[in-house]
Amino acid sequence: MRDAFVKRLTLLAAANPRVFLMTGDLGFGVLTDFAEKFPSQFLNVGVAEQNMIGVATGLALEGRIVFAYSIGNFSTLRCLEQIRNDACYHDANVKVVCVGGGFSYGALGMSHHATEDIGILRVLPGITVSVPGDVWEAAEATASLAATPGVGYLRLDKSHASGIDNSQETFQLGKIRTVRQGRDITLACCGGILGVVMAAAQELEKDGITCRVLSVHTIKPMDQETICQAAVETGGIVTVEEHTVDGGLGGVVAETCLENGCIPKKFARMGLKNTFAAVVGSQEYLRQRYELDSAAIVTRVRVLLQC
Q: Which residues are catalytic?
A: 49
* Cβ–Cβ < 8 Å for 18, 38: no
Contact present, 169 and 140 (Cβ < 8 Å)? no
Q: Give 174's contacts (C-beta < 8 A, 6+ positions apart).
A: 218, 221, 222, 223
d(CA 173, CA 152): 11
| Separation CA 189–CA 170 (nearest Å) | 19
| Dist CA 103 CA 112 (whole Å) | 8
Of the candidates 201, 166, 206, the residue with the CA atom closest to the CA atom of residue 180: 201
| Three-state secondary structure string covering 119-186 | HHHCCCCCCEEECCCEHHHHHHHHHHHHHCCCCEEEEECCCCECCCCCCCCCCCCCCCEEEECCCCEE
Which of 100, 72, 108 shows the shortest CA–CA distance to 281?
Answer: 108
- The closest of 246, 239, 241 to 274, measured between CA atoms, is 246
- From the DSSP assignment, how many helices (H) and strands (E) are in the chain? 11, 12
Supply the DSSP symbol for 208: T
Chain centroid offset of residue 159 CA: 12
Adjacent-strand bridge partners of 185: 211
Task: Using DSSP, state whether 74 is helix, strand or coil.
Answer: helix
